[in-house]
Chains A and B, each alone.
Chain A
């Protein structure tokens, strides 16, 4: 009889231990699609959410498109209204797993893991493979990544008139400071 009492307790402890999650609500994503000698096409979002499951390496991140800030107000307006259609598709999401992830291997020196998953932008989901670098700094786990995307892959049309002013490849830089 006693052992049946212990099982739920045991399960409870395991599930607590299995929920080692590191997260942030204030992650930073910068993207740049500048072409030399034209106006800088660059925006920053400092409100990005991300969660990393320290036991399994599962990773998820969500960014609200409306939160990207440009230097030029008109560019910000066009980005939301014409290209990203942020009222129809208000968020972009990355979901995936860090391969061969082991939390105990992370220390103050950068260690790289391959993320395999999907990315959803403008309502279109595509596979994503990128490298993420992780290291510890105090209580937090820093996570950085950099990858290129093509707007055409996500049905984002760039009008002819501005085509030569926007790079075909958009570089995305990710910087998270994850806390337990």
Chain B
């Protein structure tokens, strides 16, 4: 009997420690695998970020479509309105091509007047 109680207590502790560990060290979001909250044109997202209810888009996964107006080391700019940063830039991107990018919206940059997305992935190359 005593042995059984001990075993149950042991199992509870192990299960508790495991859940605790899982909670503390849960994995990062996988933006590429998430379903986008909204799918819009680049300029539309900027308009939404500048409106009063911009809080609803921050930190959310979005899909934006636009024409590539700038290519940098780690990022591209769509319609001179959104800067999309990748961990690694996809191959074959060209200026003036229309693309759809999925990423996490981190906010609006007043200095450059650009919206910014990070952890981007290319979903469509038109």
B-contact bits for A51-67, CB 8 A (1 contact / 0 none): 10000000011101111
Contact residues in A for B59 (Cβ distance below 8 Å) = 66, 80, 86-87
A-B contacts besides A23-B112, A66-B104, 18 pairs, CB < 8 Å: A25-B109, A25-B112, A26-B72, A26-B85, A47-B116, A49-B109, A62-B109, A62-B110, A62-B111, A66-B58, A67-B106, A72-B25, A73-B26, A74-B25, A86-B58, A86-B59, A88-B55, A90-B106
B121 within 8 A of A: no
Q: Which residue of chain A has its CB nearest to the CB of B74? A: A26
Q: Write the nearest CB–CB distance from A81 to chain B, whole angstroms.
A: 9
B74 & A46 in contact (Cβ 8 Å cutoff):
yes
Contact residues in B for A72 (Cβ distance below 8 Å) = 24-25
Known A47-B85, A49-B111, A80-B59: A67·B116 in contact at CB below 8 Å? yes
B75 within 8 A of A: yes
B100 within 8 A of A: no
A80 to B55 Cα, complex, angstroms = 13
**CB within 8 A of A47: which of B27, B73, B106?**
B106
Count, chain B residues at interface, CB 8 A: 29
B106 & A74 in contact (Cβ 8 Å cutoff):
no
Contact residues in B for A91 (Cβ distance below 8 Å) = 107, 109-110
B58 & A73 in contact (Cβ 8 Å cutoff):
no
Contact residues in B for A62 (Cβ distance below 8 Å) = 109-111
- Interface residues, chain B, with chain A CB atoms under 8 Å away: 23-29, 54-55, 58-59, 72-75, 83, 85, 104-112, 114, 116, 118
A50 to B111 Cα, complex, angstroms = 8
Q: Which residue of chain B has its CB nearest to the CB of A95? A: B111
A64 & B29 in contact (Cβ 8 Å cutoff):
no
Among A49, A51, A76, the one with the most B-chain Cβ atoms within 10 Å of its Cβ is A49
A62 to B74 Cα, complex, angstroms = 19
A61 to B25 Cα, complex, angstroms = 33
Q: Write the nearest CB–CB distance from B33 to chain A, whole angstroms.
A: 15
Q: Which residue of chain A has its CB nearest to the CB of B56? A: A87
A25 to B74 Cα, complex, angstroms = 11
Known A64-B107, A74-B23: A25·B29 in contact at CB below 8 Å? no
